[in-house]
Structure 1
């Protein structure tokens, strides 16, 4: 390993800049003069130039030199590195000083649309109805429960604001209440590494129990004796949850029994419980294979048993109803099908009976079961639909919605005897709406719709779904939304194009009150549903990962070209945004087609693909070989290297760039974007902005709290609006 030498980095004082930007204007100072002063001050803060320490890596006979490898510090304590990150923040603040008022105005604009006193729709679980309350300027929810849906005998379970008041970052993993309803567990994370400490409370006396479980995933599943819980422990280095422990209340964590350990580090481990409460699930999931083991929830000494032997390439999920399991699987069904099997015949797939057959053009996405009904969700040509089947008569009905492009989610259906289905519905123009839908007649009962404060009127906006032909002839779906009176299909509107395209994650066309600040300023907002998602079914995902990953980048670039050529946007006003794996997308796109974009925002970007995937000590690496490929295999190494954003930085002009990260990011380590920015600054041949913002207190999800996160959105929007010349409505 190359020796890391000390370096000298001059960080100029921002005192002058602060004085200028904070100074109250007098009648003798014009706005232009103020702007000039701020701009002049900003120029005095120079871009941090990172030192270069050659670090040689050789794989498959190929030598790579990483001059910025020294930026990695797993403990996040190295003063030299922290100073460099702070210098980047100072530089970004200086370069965006002229937008401080715009950022502040945007923050207030975004915040003003949010209803301060807001309650969630109660969800029945056991004998109680659970919900959350947001009050005033509180950043965090208050968890409550009641004996009925009207809120009678309301009981406060947890006020997260009280727990979070002394912490810069605070997040709880959710509440898990015992079957008796008398005990509660919750996980807390004060660092943003997604490693939770579990705590327990007696809900009758409100006393905290002495049990404290460290280093966990944050959730528990209760056995039916109300004193035994199962939880997942994480590896402290890789952050992989791989061990399931059984804990008895009143005993030390050191005495907990290990009931399952995942020995294949390409698998994630999860836990859950059947709707009837009879079995506890341990789920085993990798990118291309999955499985389930079950534990008798009535026997606190039971050990897990596999439903069926694990097979490479076999994926399935199971739901229990009576003596039968309903199994959603890809067995001989690339787009999945539904099977059914008696619990005594589980071990052999030959016993599985088909309930919903495989269909080549329709993906079965999930099911939920009730005593007398099967509800399933499917996707055809990019659009989801929900169907309800009577298990006695086998008659089916489809649930209908009005918008041309929308998203639906089944949630909160925790009871087998519920007479209705709980659904969340949203579209690019329709705020989130909660329904209870009668399982017999399909009638909808609207429980709540997100209230958008201010002058919002859904009729002012329009959305559409178009298909754009990519360079290989494949048609890529694109969801669009714009304000009707601000849009002309004449190539004059600025474009905000968002993409992700990895892990089979489909970016649904959901409503966002934050997005209105762009639409009201004339932007067209586009979601490019590129390959790597499952918008067009599982083949759409398979055609955008591993050795077909380049399709993801091609699709995004080709969508940009088509949206401008078809008049949806100005070719000189295109802005692209993506985060995490979507940040990798941004990095690849600006290496391959930088001329298309005026500005790009890359949030927590996964950009150092090859080096990260060669290092098994980095969180998530081994779990994702089936997503990106294993670079220890030369075929994958060469292919990954061909698009890796960090490795492919070259001497060329790049768009204006805003890169963000969190120092404590547990998924994409902060040093990936830090290295990338340093290398871009070394190689780029333009005078465009290259800004790097590091949240020194947060991780992958950004700041905790409902309002703090809006400051991140305001920063991004100000960066884009300033470049687009759209500073005002």
Structure 2
């Protein structure tokens, strides 16, 4: 990467004429508002136009910025333009530098610098992760025979990251006999991982090096066999499962499964009891698993139950019984039970928890003597615990109006204790142990928020607003009591996502305190496309119902303003990835409602991307967005695609972020979108783009470094808020 940047610096001199009329000054008058009149400030980089025709279904679209795609990410002209955008952004935000630093110091100042996880016991070892005060990356460690004994460091990621601008460890897995550590790492940000194996006692790396993997790995019980997933280098789809024997070259690894349907993702896991290795097969609407005896690594994986379109199931094992979470004849899922002799005959499965219209089953863990299930009713989570030999249930229930809860780290199959995590908009993340025999609940640890934070100073609410089609949309919000008045004067920070059935539960985010303490109301709009209100809530926000996601978000804005939670001219919104698509769609549809927008790694060029099956993740998502090779899908997707619907109108102040090496949403989507917005927009509001030249979809890899972008976003909004309208 350093070589590339050196090369680019030379090339920039050669292509400098391209930007001769758009040179960006390094400083700006700090006394003037940065967003009032761009004519008095730096000139934004204007991209050249090269018409590119895309024709299908008798319709031809002209994409003037298609040239911005470079899969190698080395084109000098493209790198120069991204650099010019970064320079322009720096110049336009020069007056916020002190504010950015203030916000960054605040956010970092709340973080527990030597934070550690709660240790979990596996055999006679206690495993945990901790941070050293000034370090960006975690240290993986363990203690033997008790927490008072000496620490043994397994992996210090800070040492591995030296010399890298980006570094991420995706997985760490200790062999069943606790002697070896396998871990996967990525030093680019494309989520293509290399697996290495470390001898823990000698602290030496084995020669085994497994490249081009998904990062997912599982040990067989012989302590010498590893299963991993290899990626397609073009689509980045993990589709081949290999078996590797320690001490042999990767070239001799055995292919044990290959996914030939490019609409499916592939995963690897191991059953809690350690007896099964599981390959997961999942597309948007179909899910299943293939199983292998972990004691017979040379055996053959077999489907637990045949894959059927529209049927989603996952399997947990306890003793001789399989517990299956399935949506067969159960839209919101039900829990079934089978054994080896009955697993292939659905009619012989025994129902454990029946389907309910008002409750969705979302997860299950099978222990030796107990089963734990997460359920979502009316958008709120409960945890149910049942005895294997006793159908009576205990529930872990919660009192906050809006919260997040779910399973924590549970590694001990024989445990009578369930570890779970809990958080709310006013309660920092908390780790509990729940005794499944007695019902006793024990708080093990709650994240520390350094400084003057007091949960009692903040108030959380849960609302249901009425959307334009009379659907009730849930909203979670939080504000600081001393700073809030129900008189329509507060600024609003509204966050949304609404895709893939992913539910953005209202959990504590210490970053938001910097907004709350400055008088913002922070709201999460649980729009259709998530599963907040069950599976149907997802179905009503995808494919030919996708526009519901966008109109729900706009209707939430209108309702919060009408209910006097926020001022009409002080609404700021943010979303990332598919949430960035949400941002792009709503500002095309209702730009006048928003003062400022942050669109992070936004998926905005929906139709062109979904037409190109060489782009990562495209074929896997036809059941989410539609396949534009079908005319009806093409027309519907084209009706909301943010890039295709940019028009001559005023747009809000907009901050767009991306990563050059993004593997999920390619950098050229936001790059093209910004260029087209510059061409069409009729206002003098800010349009800024920030490209992290060393990172991918998740941004910077360090725990502190990534917060600089958060501080930049908040400073962007606060600068707009404090300026003239």
Match of residue 153 from structure 1? 150
Match of residue 17 from structure 1? 26
Paired residue secondary structure (2:698): coil
TM score, norm. by length of structure 2: 0.96
Match of residue 317 from structure 1? 314
Match of residue 606 from structure 1? 603
Q: Deviations over 1:336-361 (max 9, x none)?
A: 00000012221121221100000001
Unaligned runs of 5+ in 2: 1-14
Q: Distance in 1 between matches of 2:38 and 2:557?
A: 36
Q: Deviations over 1:395-420 (max 9, x none)?
A: 21111323221111112111121121
Q: Distance in 1 between matches of 2:634 and 2:148?
A: 58
Match of residue 566 from structure 1? 563
Aligned-residue offset at 1:210: 0.3
Match of residue 658 from structure 1? 655
Paired residue secondary structure (1:377): strand
Q: Distance in 2 between matches of 1:355 and 1:188?
A: 40
Matched, 1:84 2:84: no
Paired residue secondary structure (1:413): coil
| Pair 53,389 (structure 1): closer, same or farther in 2 beyond 3 Å | same
Q: Deviations over 1:481-507 (max 9, x none)?
A: 000011111100000000000000000
Q: Distance in 1 between matches of 2:39 and 2:181?
A: 52
Q: Distance in 2 between matches of 1:406 and 1:581?
A: 23
Q: Is the 1:267–1:284 contact (alpha carbons within 8 Å) kept by the matching residues of 2? A: yes
Q: Is the 1:12–1:44 contact (alpha carbons within 8 Å) kept by the matching residues of 2? A: no
Q: Is the 1:521–1:726 contact (alpha carbons within 8 Å) kept by the matching residues of 2? A: no
Aligned-residue offset at 1:127: 3.3
The 5 Å alignment of 1:233-312 reads 233-312=230-309
| Pair 86,11 (structure 1): closer, same or farther in 2 beyond 3 Å | farther
Matched, 1:486 2:495: no
Q: Deviations over 1:247-304 (max 9, x none)?
A: 0000000000000000000000001111111110001000000111011211131111
Matched, 1:627 2:624: yes
| Pair 523,287 (structure 1): closer, same or farther in 2 beyond 3 Å | same
Aligned-residue offset at 1:219: 2.4
Matched, 1:334 2:343: no
Q: Is the 1:223–1:300 contact (alpha carbons within 8 Å) kept by the matching residues of 2? A: yes
The count of aligned residue pairs is: 709
Higher mean C-alpha displacement, 222-231 vs 120-129? 120-129
Match of residue 667 from structure 1? 664
Match of residue 701 from structure 1? 698
Paired residue secondary structure (1:118): coil
Q: Distance in 2 between matches of 1:69 and 1:151?
A: 60
Paired residue secondary structure (1:678): helix
The 5 Å alignment of 1:489-504 reads 489-504=486-501
Matched, 1:557 2:554: yes
Q: Deviations over 1:100-133 (max 9, x none)?
A: 1100111111111111111111122343221111
Q: Is the 1:11–1:87 contact (alpha carbons within 8 Å) kept by the matching residues of 2? A: no
Paired residue secondary structure (1:344): coil
Match of residue 591 from structure 1? 588
| Pair 119,304 (structure 1): closer, same or farther in 2 beyond 3 Å | same
| Pair 557,545 (structure 1): closer, same or farther in 2 beyond 3 Å | same
Q: Distance in 2 between matches of 1:575 and 1:195?
A: 35
Paired residue secondary structure (2:26): helix
Match of residue 141 from structure 1? 138
Q: Deviations over 1:57-87 (max 9, x none)?
A: 1011100000000000000000000000001
| Pair 646,420 (structure 1): closer, same or farther in 2 beyond 3 Å | same
Matched, 1:416 2:426: no
Q: Deviations over 1:431-478 (max 9, x none)?
A: 011111111121111111100000000000000100000000000000
Matched, 1:516 2:513: yes
The 5 Å alignment of 1:105-120 reads 105-120=102-117
Match of residue 506 from structure 1? 503
| Pair 691,637 (structure 1): closer, same or farther in 2 beyond 3 Å | same
Q: Distance in 2 between matches of 1:402 and 1:470?
A: 27
Deviant stretches of 4+, over 4 Å: 11-14, 35-44
Unaligned runs of 5+ in 1: 1-5, 22-30
Alpha-carbon RMSD across the aligned residues, in angstroms, is 1.7
Q: Distance in 2 between matches of 1:700 and 1:184?
A: 27
Match of residue 28 from structure 1? none
Which of 54, 58, 67 aligns to 1:57? It is 54
Q: Is the 2:501–2:531 contact (alpha carbons within 8 Å) kept by the matching residues of 1? A: yes
Aligned-residue offset at 1:149: 5.3
Matched, 1:399 2:396: yes
Match of residue 7 from structure 2? none
Aligned-residue offset at 1:43: 4.5
| Pair 528,275 (structure 1): closer, same or farther in 2 beyond 3 Å | same
Which of 507, 525, 529 aligns to 2:526? It is 529
Higher mean C-alpha displacement, 371-380 vs 188-197? 371-380
Q: Distance in 2 between matches of 1:472 and 1:411?
A: 38
Aligned-residue offset at 1:37: 11
Q: Is the 1:421–1:436 contact (alpha carbons within 8 Å) kept by the matching residues of 2? A: yes
Bigger relative contact order, structure 1 or 2 (CA pairs below 8 A, ≥6 apart): 2
Aligned-residue offset at 1:38: 13
